[in-house]
Structure 1
């Protein structure tokens, strides 16, 4: 059953960055032109310490996005109420403009698996995810965004297309969606699908944030391309082109550059936001010109 949720205050339609501890001092000293910063909720669930002092200082200067990686919203078990309480505490403390989680599972019985694992798309899993999204939004007192996954396998038992699955969750719960364009590219290449068709069918009117990242590439046992959602390099050119196609359909949206492994110096990360901001501006001008014509 859909619950009433408060709509989050929107992030600006700019490019943002993940906040990394090695960049705290640089950010506070230089106050770079960045649209927003995003943090993984689980990194800030301790009550105090230096990380919170830095996050408080950054949140005083920039809009904040809170991104969860451990809620296990697709798990075949109840949500962890203690985890939900800690999430609520963070949201009450920092009042982020956005909260998001993954369409994935990472728990089984009492075991936590350090990975975001895929789901079969069936009526049963759809009902479970809907219930968990409803419960999360009720606990947090606000709307959440649900992110499309990067996948490496498909389930024989799946009977629902991924875009339809996500759309149905959003319609039943009132949640928003986080569209990870790199995940679309990774999954499409791995499953020999067309990423443009995926984006064309995606309900972009429900998207509250976009993610961009770099992938790694290898080949599978059949010699076909295999992309890995690695978050350790700059955004690839094909992902940027897919991003441009997305923005033409959706209009400018808050866009996070994810770079979580082999994190470079801040100047390198900031250069990625400059490219994304330029794309956002160019697409806005294009859409304005189309409307005038």
Structure 2
């Protein structure tokens, strides 16, 4: 198989997209992806569908797929570093759902999605332990999923209020990407959380990071909280994007020469409230692809 920096040229250029997950539009005033597509196709070039296989796809995701519109498949239920998670029923379900969505690639937070066996009652999301010993199991899981599906698998840096391990988050994922020979999804809001939690400036660790492996970016709102003196950021996917996130996103767009897609994560907000976010992201990426 060619190396990733050769394979990346075959990946489609999706432009700006929006995220969803099962039942996201049940909240009053939540975003209707197809309505966004009708009103502003430049903001909805593709739909990133968050998937737990036990839930499957909701009506919004199925309608988008039925229209033949571009998608990506964002897994919400796999601990990539655990070989036991790659059980045949789960893999069969992933392949079935991917056949319906026809995604450009798979992606998802490369952390701990569940504690113990995979079950709705055990679902959570924690970042990986940022140590060398955690690199190989995670990278091996990425390779296994890529081989099982025939699709590129882009690991995403997860959110967190605290991070364990001595490595910088960007150094950790650089090592994972090299071992797995994979591309990367950089979540700018999640990286801003890490930098704050460690007391770093927003662009700490950027030099030496393999920006040519970054295929997709996420931009999302966050809310700052103080709990008993601990300042932390809630990844709320709202309309208030932190200045640190914007700074990271602007520099990431400048450096990521193989960038194919940016998702604005805002699925539970009204269309009129999120359009300014899309316009600001579009201004960061003037050479973005047009909506398909």
For structure 2, the 5+ residue unaligned runs are: 26-30
What's the secondary structure of 1:65's corresponding residue?
strand
Residues 1-293 of structure 1 aligned to structure 2 (within 5 Å): 7=7, 9-12=10-13, 14-19=15-20, 21=25, 23-24=32-33, 26-27=35-36, 30=39, 32-34=41-43, 35-42=45-52, 46=56, 50-51=59-60, 53-58=62-67, 60=68, 62-75=69-82, 77-112=84-119, 113-155=122-164, 158-221=165-228, 223=229, 225-251=231-257, 253-260=260-267, 263-281=268-286
Change (3 A) 1:194 1:266: same
With a CA cutoff of 8 Å and minimum separation of 6, indicate the structure with the bigger relative contact order.
2
Deviation of 1:256 (Å): 0.5
Query: Which whole-Å CA distance do the structure 2 matches of 1:11 and 1:44 have between them?
Result: 29
Change (3 A) 1:88 1:111: closer
Report the TM-score, using the length of structure 2 for normalisation.
0.81
Report the TM-score, using the length of structure 1 for normalisation.
0.80
Deviation of 1:259 (Å): 1.7
For the Cα contact (< 8 Å) 2:82–2:141, is it kept in 1?
no
Deviation of 1:197 (Å): 1.4
Query: Which whole-Å CA distance do the structure 2 matches of 1:192 and 1:283 have between them?
Result: 33
Change (3 A) 1:116 1:74: farther
Deviation of 1:264 (Å): 1.9
Query: Which whole-Å CA distance do the structure 2 matches of 1:79 and 1:118 have between them?
Result: 19
For the Cα contact (< 8 Å) 1:45–1:90, is it kept in 2?
no
Query: Which whole-Å CA distance do the structure 1 matches of 2:278 and 2:7 have between them?
Result: 26
Query: Which whole-Å CA distance do the structure 2 matches of 1:214 and 1:168 have between them?
Result: 28
Query: Which whole-Å CA distance do the structure 1 matches of 2:234 and 2:202 have between them?
Result: 16
* 1:147-172 superposed Cα distances (whole Å, 9 cap, x missing partner): 012222232xx354332221122112
RMSD of aligned Cα (Å): 3.1
Change (3 A) 1:66 1:137: same
For the Cα contact (< 8 Å) 2:73–2:101, is it kept in 1?
no
